[in-house]
Structure 1
Amino acid sequence: MAPTITDKDFKVHHDRNQVTPFKDDEEEDAYTRYVTRYSDGTVKLRNPNIELMDQDILYHLALGNESHDLKEMFGDIKFVCMGGTPKRMDNFAHFIMNEIGYKLPAGMQLQDISAYSYRYSMYKVGPVLCVSHGMGTPSVSILMHEMIKLMYHAKCRDPIFIRIGTCGGIGIEGGTVIITDDALDGQLRNSHEFTILGETVHRPAKLDKKLARELKSLASADDPYDTIIGKTLCTNDFYEGQGRLDGAFCEFSENEKMAYLEKLREHGVVNIEMESTIFAALTHHAGIKAAVVCVAILNRLNGDQVNAPKEVMHEWQQRPQILVSRYIRKVLAQNGQLKSLLGHQGSIKSPRRFTFVQQESQAHD
């Protein structure tokens, strides 16, 4: 039987400077569930200030809980799929629409819900939300805060977040699909480091291992490429931070670079990217089941520059999307939801507030 968590336990664990260690993962999971979910499974925020605010503007998404009916627009969301570029998520939105049989009303087309933010792109395809997150941990962090708040305002029940991206492989050939088991920072710690009010805070960068295994099980023997599970290194820089020799600066030798990459490989690291630890840390802190699925666009042991032909890159980038779509189809089929879905694009509660949100977003274009 899973352990139960009480208000007394919450008070003991709530102070981040006086955290009582959990006995095991089961107790930690129970505690996380207690502080991040209401009894009906809807998302609860670890921020009491939000409930006291007259309105909450999701500034970088060009949305707000008073300008939009967020529950009407997003209350049915089960999957939030994220990728780096707006174009990639536009492509994925159209791809998943066909995969799950989602039907738009005649004469309608998918619209970028966050177009007026000029920062991120967002497309809703029935229970699937497709969002671009930009490049690097700061961009992902901004989006994640607002996406988690969106899940709260929309009263979504147990959403699943999946990052779909590209990476550099270590001893892994280009085109290989990699599902992240553990996300490690530049010092090989399974956590993400934050500076909050001048203090250093480490949050575990945990992804859902059961979800990773389930995704791996959906790889087909007929796929003309490998799908593997392994550790992912997350860096804050594309060049020096990843040991590249071709940046504007390089103060290490090729031998030193190769020794570093071999050290990573010995530690079980199979790929390098720039978003996994912040994605894992914030989803774990929010009690959200999450996974990272990337495709390697080169083997870093063979070089630093990405030089695969454009058409090859395009096909490679579809591979994680195919795997994720298989998972979404499976879950929807199990729930009896895999059928033609008539989508609606949401409603505006207050035209005046809606215009205000758009103007505020455009003011800092």
Structure 2
Amino acid sequence: MASAGTQTKELENDNACFVQLCNPNIATLKEDVLYHFGLSTSTHDLPAMFGDVKFVCVGGSPSRMKGFIKYVAAELGLGRPGEDPPNICEGTDRYAMFKVGPVLSVSHGMGVPSIAIMLHELLKLLYHARCSSVTIIRIGTSGGIGLEPGSVVITRQAVDAYFKPEFEQVVLGKRVVRPTDLDERLVQELSECSKDLREFRTVVGNTMCTMDFYEGQGRLDGALCCYTERDKQAYLQAALAAGVQNIEMESSVFAAMCRACGLRAAVVCVTLLDRLEGDQICSPHNVLAEFQQRPQRLVGLFIKKCLAGA
């Protein structure tokens, strides 16, 4: 029979596995309305709906995340073949959410503000549902630096436009900076899985998160531009020298928020072009569609292996 001290330690370890929030105010709420999901703690049984979730995958567009959950369902043998999963967020048009077995798939829109809003409510959902031992992965698209289009990047660190591994936000007029390190072990596990997918190249490197698609990423084809091709190339080469392999617009706040709440998190993005070669995405639609499936295939394989070994 376990001693009282051992039982206490086991209970502490169990509690450590549950999703934690960094906001004591949540515990005082009589009702928590997850407005942008169309869910609420008073009108929905969140533990019954989501308590078994172990893997959460988020990505920009609703259609992509619907496609991902259908792919995962087929790979795991869950649901009926070809069946369209219902959108759990049908009461709102802000985000889309789909679930099959222990896998949750959620869209987050484009850019830091959009994904940040979604993450606040997603993290609260997982907390209210009493989810434990959750792994969360962002799957998406990006611009590569010195990589062939179609390459997949597993992010080691999310960095800002100064190549620093931090996310800065102004809170009540004060500068708040949070670290953006991702789970190193998860990076290695995903990298190991990539060895089974030899049809495309997968690399591990830093991902630069910007606040804009055009000037913020050094493009020359936006409505505004105050620099030259030479300036752009110098900046991208500096990013490459700092270990940056790709550029997107969500990874820093994703890494910062997941880390703050103790979630095991990763970012896996495919590159749609090499920014050293140009600014516009010119590949045919069918090629881009296949590219976008590559992160899904890698993450799907990872989930399948995890569940097989559980």
Q: TM-score range by the shorter chain?
A: over 0.9
| 1:324-345 superposed Cα distances (whole Å, 9 cap, x missing partner) | 011100110111xxxxxxxxxx
Q: Which runs of 5+ in 2 are unaligned?
A: 1-11
CA distance in 2, matches of 1:70, 1:277: 28
Equivalent in the alignment of 1:243: 218
User: SS of the counterpart of 1:326?
Assistant: helix
CA distance in 2, matches of 1:172, 1:108: 36
Q: How is 1:106-125 mapped onto 2 (pairs within 5 angstroms)?
A: 109-125=84-100
Instruction: Give the residue type in structure 2 aligned to 1:216.
Output: S
Equivalent in the alignment of 1:86: 62
Shift of 1:223: 2.1
Find out whether 1:284 has 2:253 as its counterpart: no
Shift of 1:109: 4.1
Equivalent in the alignment of 2:189: 214
The equivalent position to 2:35 in structure 1, one of 59, 79, 93, is 59
TM-score (normalizing by structure 2): 0.94
CA distance in 1, matches of 2:218, 2:71: 35
Q: How many aligned positions are there?
A: 299
Equivalent in the alignment of 2:122: 147
Find out whether 1:45 has 2:21 as its counterpart: yes
User: SS of the counterpart of 1:156?
Assistant: coil
Q: Which runs of 5+ in 1 are unaligned?
A: 1-33, 336-365
CA distance in 2, matches of 1:132, 1:164: 10
Seen in structure 2, the aligned counterparts of structure 1 residues 255 and 109 have a Cα distance that, compared at 3 Å, is closer
Instruction: Give the residue type in structure 2 aligned to 1:320.
Output: P
Find out whether 1:331 has 2:292 as its counterpart: no
CA distance in 1, matches of 2:304, 2:196: 18
| 1:140-192 superposed Cα distances (whole Å, 9 cap, x missing partner) | 10011101000111000121110000000000010001000010011111010
Equivalent in the alignment of 1:311: 286
Equivalent in the alignment of 2:246: 271
Seen in structure 2, the aligned counterparts of structure 1 residues 108 and 260 have a Cα distance that, compared at 3 Å, is closer
Conserved in 1, the CA contact under 8 Å of 2:213 and 2:249?
yes
Equivalent in the alignment of 1:178: 153
Equivalent in the alignment of 2:108: 133
Conserved in 2, the CA contact under 8 Å of 1:77 and 1:127?
yes
Larger radius of gyration: 1
Shift of 1:194: 1.1
| 1:305-352 superposed Cα distances (whole Å, 9 cap, x missing partner) | 0011000000000000000011100110111xxxxxxxxxxxxxxxxx
Of 249-258 and 43-52, deviating more is: 43-52
Shift of 1:41: 2.3
Conserved in 1, the CA contact under 8 Å of 2:197 and 2:298?
no
Shift of 1:244: 0.2
Equivalent in the alignment of 2:236: 261
Find out whether 1:70 has 2:46 as its counterpart: yes
TM-score (normalizing by structure 1): 0.80
Shift of 1:117: 1.3
CA distance in 1, matches of 2:14, 2:22: 12
CA distance in 2, matches of 1:149, 1:79: 15
Conserved in 2, the CA contact under 8 Å of 1:38 and 1:44?
no
